[in-house]
Amino acid sequence: MKDPEAVARDLCLRALTGSPKTRQQLADLLDQREVPEDAAEAVLDRLAEVGLIDDEAFAEAWVSSRQAGRGLARRALKAELRAKGVDDEVAATAVLAVDDDDERETARRLVERKLPSMLRLDRATATRRLMGMLARKGYSGGLAAGVIREAFDNAGAADDAVAGFDELDEDALLP
């Protein structure tokens, strides 16, 4: 490597062109490309100094985007930020932008969007599937159960019947 700092700077600037990155993501990239640690640190420090690397701004934008777009709960958002190398304190601060009401409303919208396709199932199966969906998005069991129960009640779904099944003639089903 002729000039490790120039190589590191080039790699970082190219990586930052596509989307914002955390300092840790860029450090990992430079490590993969075998850039010497002192050159990597110098370049990363300079990029942070001029504002091209800002983990706090990254975390805030990530939380806003992922919560609105994917409907993720605070727990899932914090886990994603940790996986991207954002410091726990920075992640916790960024996640504070999502309050309890926002989280409940987002869970409600997710369930309402999925509920029409679930009404053909019995309530227990639909509830289990909706709980799984919300759990994968980081919602607590209590919040998920409450939102799902409320959605079923608002939809007027029967507790034990598959939609449309009651109208079938049982004798017609027997051989």
> Per-residue DSSP letters for 41-74?
HHHHHHHHHTTS--HHHHHHHHHHHHHHHH---H
Looking at the predicted structure, is the pLDDT value of residue 105 above 70?
Answer: yes
Looking at the predicted structure, is the pLDDT value of residue 169 above 90?
Answer: no
The pLDDT of 16-26, averaged and rounded, is: 93
pLDDT band at 20 (very low <50, low <70, confident <90, very high): very high
Looking at the predicted structure, is the pLDDT value of residue 1 above 70?
Answer: no
The percentage of residues in the chain with a pLDDT greater than 70, rounded to a whole number, is: 89
Looking at the predicted structure, is the pLDDT value of residue 33 above 60?
Answer: yes
pLDDT of residue 156: 74
pTM of the model: 0.78
Sequence ranges of the domains in the chain? 4-49, 55-95, 100-155
In terms of Cβ atoms closer than 10 Å to its own Cβ (0-12, 13-18, 19+), residue 174 is exposed
At residue 121, the 3 state secondary structure works out as: coil
Looking at the predicted structure, is the pLDDT value of residue 159 above 50?
Answer: no
User: Does an H or E element contain 7, and which?
Assistant: helix 4-18
